[in-house]
Structure 1
């Protein structure tokens, strides 16, 4: 429970940590996220080798759990913004320190969580005797319940922890707490596991069957190419070339394993889509409205839909859906189930693309390269006429009003002319491109005052100190402004804003800030404020993600659960771990596919990328359906029983030959 809480809790907020703390764009955040997940699913092979060939399961779990705990702790430390100096936006100036610590932490976590993955369940199974099948079954039921409970609860709690504000010098999203709690629970799990050491049965390492399988395959290939001439007769299967060195049982079992592994080749494409719940789908949720009445759902909390649906749907599918299909006399074989799962996952991404199209209609249009966007706010009592030269646009702004953002080609915009009352002012513009700018004007008795500003604007003659909840915006001089800061949005979030002017303090409560919105707040009088909306709130509701999560969860139920069952049923008794490693490897390869496809596609529209992934999986689904059609199911128990009989017959023949030779010798 603690280990799964630690892993899924950290992973739930990871892509938002990349985007909002490390200030990476969506593509880089997605790439690093999937690289990390791929590493986590590559490491089980290393963990199995260490456990079976060297340390044993117990020492491997202890050693790699220490690495795991250190990694989680470093991750928490890496997210402390007070480690280095920071600018007014709250972004650490020395961001490379945070990036370096984060990458070290993720490598350690991947080694830890991946390395212990093949050991923990097997170590639990080792604690039972052969006649304790009932107790073993009960243990695994509790074991898998703990896994699901850990992942579900952590995906709910860690986004809540992330949404808090914390810090000494700056008040930022509380990533140290969101990463720190999983680190603490991983430390707890390690301590509890060590305390129970005297109670465990510790099986010594027996040697890794995977190494023998690889050696057998390698020898067969080498032997085949060594005897390419026609002098040597052809053999029924290329693995039969290993018969000079390896026994028939190992060769037959390796053939069975390779037969299943060949079917695994198309499967990574499913995981390429499935694991985007934690990256692209979470980023999609950041552009949606999470207001569910009295409950505010954070973007990373939408991932909880999957484990909740899994807990509900697995028993429903097993107890209702499959029996109904059977009653309809449909032969719904495991490979057909896997094919349906791939098809459903493709549909889920079509649904995600449709939602994205609706989101794109509501998103603000930001300036492209070579463009600037300008909003004008009139803080004076007179109407102002603003002319953008040379002859680009004229706008009229009444007192205490603002315009929407206007887009200009930066190279063409040379100056701004303001006329208010009987006064006129010209200002030369040198604005950086691909940015939004707010232009504030105010007519005084003597002149027209202008400023380029953002967020809190002081429309008072004196300096003021502004705080919003625990976040201080510092001293804001007259007609100047603070920088932007991030706050949790939603209808239940109304923040207390305090403005201090000449030792006089006055407070007011902000209006509710919508998800994804940005505002400029003008302090006109200490007791009066004016809001200017810079970016409108998200209007597409997060509930529209539920259909795509539902379809993808249906896909997972018929794909993942069936795939594990199929692998187990088709594997020889002593090679089930080999196929387990192969199954986990498909997850790793799937995450690598995300990196390749997302990097190579260069699609500017997110909905188009969803459609691309859906199309790729549909094509792979068709290929897999053809492969499944020609697959012949085998019963490993029968094959091994036949091998046992053949070995007994061979032993008997050898014994008869030995007896005849002994009898002949005695006669001599």
Structure 2
């Protein structure tokens, strides 16, 4: 049980199991993903290294990778409902972790059988997605009013474990892949996931387990669907959702309205993820064609992506404690909407660097990977501005009872962005409409699409109203979920 008492400075024993579990799970996920795109090309889609097949092979690998990510980020919504309504967080985390382990086992044992390998990816997506919405909330459940002031420190260590797992895995697993082959490269992340499940199991007697509440019909989906099918009963001058007040709690209906206000901003987020997630697939494949001798070190293509986590760790405190206060003091108010807009612009700039690199690659050149590191730095800055700010904006603008709903919707924006990129790559691999966008043109297409969204955002964002009179405006530890876990 968690420690109780007045003004206790003792940490619940359970948090050590939760933090260790998270670090091992993130190692397993990012370790597997770090080599996924290059593995799919080399072992399934173009094992003969035929230059004529390479572009189609890379499109197939990108398609598979983005579909995988899309599914992994679509399922947290379902995992959260299973935990909150039916089974509780502990059971969902533990038993879905076993599914997760089975997926890794498929990858390690069937690295030469594409169909079974894809089933392994499906199981990992179910595992990673199913537990994602439960783990952070489970950490918060361990605290009482007496020790809740320790939450920020614990979440800092939790975030550290996430990035430690990510950095270590993206450095180590490519080396293991290069020297010992895919069986070990996929097997070791599987071992780490099994270790994560074991660690979580060993802490079972220490957890505070919040029991499931049963089906709560006063939620975003039920209220929205009811209003949609009964819109004819809407009174003149009233909000469409007001018709749901005849069946649902009136306060909850008002809370749902705040979600729709946030969706005006969220509608611009999927395009960000459609581009951002390419740094872990398309950019990795591009790195195979670059000069990887950087500052006297010889890197593997899959290791360059480690820069993302390192730059992110650097920029988060830099932006929060230096850049934002510096600009605010000089009268340049860094509102959430402005930050998001600036982040979208930086995302486009990062892809301009990548597109120019690809132009040289297409011409037979062998440019330095230093330029890709520059793109990673710009993209990490964009991530701080868009991803972290976006979720914080959602928290301040939505009512307290709808914050969990907005977490799920936020993760769905990642799923939608990756789904779009997967479909583009599917079209390329099948010789469809998007097959005309190969090489550098692929990146220029996404840059052009993002620029269109940026233009619309510039026109729309000044007219998006923000709530200023809510008691929920401040993001408080007792009703918050750490932003950083949700962007990983």
1:630 aligns with 2:463: yes
Higher helix share: 2
Counterpart Cα distance in 2 of 1:553 and 1:590: 18
Matched residue SS, 2:211: coil
1:297 aligns with 2:299: yes
List aligned pairs for 1:61-210, cutoff 5 A.
Answer: 61-79=93-111, 81=112, 98-165=113-180, 174-207=181-214
Counterpart Cα distance in 1 of 2:298 and 2:471: 56
1:220 aligns with 2:47: no
CA shift for structure 1 position 46: 1.1
Match among 259, 270, 280 for residue 261 of structure 2: 259
List aligned pairs for 1:141-540, cutoff 5 A.
Answer: 141-165=156-180, 174-207=181-214, 212-225=219-232, 227=233, 233-292=235-294, 295-362=297-364, 539-540=366-367
Matched residue SS, 2:204: helix
Counterpart Cα distance in 2 of 1:559 and 1:50: 29
State which structure, 1 or 2, has the greater radius of gyration over its C-alpha atoms.
Answer: 1
Matched residue SS, 2:363: helix
Counterpart Cα distance in 2 of 1:549 and 1:42: 25
Counterpart Cα distance in 2 of 1:210 and 1:30: 39
Counterpart Cα distance in 2 of 1:323 and 1:214: 39
CA shift for structure 1 position 311: 0.9
User: Which residue in the other structure is 2:35 paired with?
Assistant: 13
Counterpart Cα distance in 1 of 2:139 and 2:284: 34
CA shift for structure 1 position 318: 1.2
User: Which residue in the other structure is 2:482 paired with?
Assistant: none
CA shift for structure 1 position 595: 2.3
Residues 301-342 of structure 1 show CA distances to partners (whole Å, capped at 9, x for unaligned) of 110011011111111111211111112201221011011111
1:549 aligns with 2:376: yes
Counterpart Cα distance in 2 of 1:271 and 1:611: 16
Counterpart Cα distance in 1 of 2:100 and 2:172: 20
Counterpart Cα distance in 1 of 2:202 and 2:439: 50
Matched residue SS, 2:450: helix
Counterpart Cα distance in 1 of 2:249 and 2:406: 21
CA shift for structure 1 position 361: 2.0
Matched residue SS, 2:247: coil
Contact 2:437 / 2:445 at 8 angstroms: preserved in 1?
Answer: no
- TM-score (normalizing by structure 1): 0.63
User: Which residue in the other structure is 1:511 paired with?
Assistant: none
User: Which residue in the other structure is 2:441 paired with?
Assistant: 608
CA shift for structure 1 position 53: 1.1
Match among 88, 102, 120 for residue 56 of structure 1: 88
CA shift for structure 1 position 561: 1.1
User: Which residue in the other structure is 2:14 paired with?
Assistant: none
Match among 568, 587, 592 for residue 414 of structure 2: 587
CA shift for structure 1 position 13: 0.3
Counterpart Cα distance in 1 of 2:250 and 2:158: 37
Counterpart Cα distance in 2 of 1:211 and 1:43: 21
1:4 aligns with 2:26: yes
Matched residue SS, 1:128: coil
Taking a change above 3 Å as real, the CA distance of residues 639 and 293 of structure 1, as seen in their structure-2 partners, is closer
Taking a change above 3 Å as real, the CA distance of residues 551 and 582 of structure 1, as seen in their structure-2 partners, is same
Matched residue SS, 1:288: coil
CA shift for structure 1 position 293: 6.1
CA shift for structure 1 position 559: 0.8
Counterpart Cα distance in 2 of 1:240 and 1:210: 16
List alignment gaps of at least 5 residues for structure 2. 1-22, 47-56, 428-432, 474-488
CA shift for structure 1 position 209: 5.5
Contact 1:336 / 1:625 at 8 angstroms: preserved in 2?
Answer: no
Counterpart Cα distance in 1 of 2:467 and 2:240: 19
Q: Which has the higher contact order (CA 8 A, sep 6+)?
A: 2
Contact 2:264 / 2:464 at 8 angstroms: preserved in 1?
Answer: no
User: Which residue in the other structure is 2:398 paired with?
Assistant: 571
- CA RMSD for the aligned pairs? 1.7
Taking a change above 3 Å as real, the CA distance of residues 211 and 287 of structure 1, as seen in their structure-2 partners, is farther
Contact 1:77 / 1:176 at 8 angstroms: preserved in 2?
Answer: yes
Report the count of equivalent residues. 435
Higher strand share: 1
List aligned pairs for 1:6-45, cutoff 5 A.
Answer: 6-24=28-46, 25-45=57-77
Contact 2:218 / 2:249 at 8 angstroms: preserved in 1?
Answer: no
Contact 2:218 / 2:248 at 8 angstroms: preserved in 1?
Answer: no
Taking a change above 3 Å as real, the CA distance of residues 14 and 277 of structure 1, as seen in their structure-2 partners, is same
CA shift for structure 1 position 625: 2.7
User: Which residue in the other structure is 1:618 paired with?
Assistant: 451
Counterpart Cα distance in 1 of 2:439 and 2:189: 32
Residues 574-617 of structure 1 show CA distances to partners (whole Å, capped at 9, x for unaligned) of 22110000110000000011123342422253111111101111
Counterpart Cα distance in 1 of 2:454 and 2:437: 26
List alignment gaps of at least 5 residues for structure 1. 82-97, 166-173, 364-538, 641-668
